[in-house]
Amino acid sequence: MQIAFWALAILTLGAAGGVMASRNLLHAVLFLIVAFIGVAGFFVLLSAEFIALAQIVIYVGAIAVLLLFAIALTPRALRDNSETAMVGPAILLGVALAAIFLFVIHDAAWGAGAGDPGIGAADLGRALLSTWVLPFEIASVLLTMALVAAIMLVRPEAEEDADAGAAGGGGEERA
């Protein structure tokens, strides 16, 4: 467990550093995906398999794919992660947050967990596919609609006009 924890810690922190240091937005999103998977690995180490799977499905499967779509649909000239004037304040904020985290880690009472959580991944799965199936499906339809709407909002008008002309049946039938 110790070796797995430290390996995941190095992987997750390295990937998070890659997100910050990357100048290419596509590479930054790929590093972000690795960081999300590392966090899911921490949940597995904590015996929270359902939360780990939710982390992978929601963050890797939905958020990261949405970011990749946004990057792919952004014009190439606007994609570069150029230098800004906010580097200094960002470093200062990062150092302040690190100091706060170190203080909390040092002063916290790190006791063992309370034991049995009372519900397992199998019970949660049964609940999602029986009691909560309707809200689960409504949420999936809403997320799909949001993704399609986001793509439609960023499409150039020339592509929309070409699609409308092709769908309108503007051509004549040939004998």
CB 61 within 8 A of CB 45: no
Residue at token pair 């769908």: 167
Residue at token pair 């924890």: 5
pLDDT along the chain (175 residues), means of 10: 92 91 82 92 89 86 79 66 74 92 86 68 82 85 82 70 61 48
Predicted pLDDT at 174: 47
Predicted pLDDT at 38: 94
Rounded to 5°, angle at Cα 44 from 109 and 106:
20
CA distance 101 to 52: 23
Radius of gyration of the chain (CA): 23
Predicted pLDDT at 13: 93
Predicted pLDDT at 100: 95
- pLDDT tens digit sequence for 13-61: 999 988 888 877 788 888 999 999 999 999 999 888 888 888 888 888 8
Predicted pLDDT at 175: 46
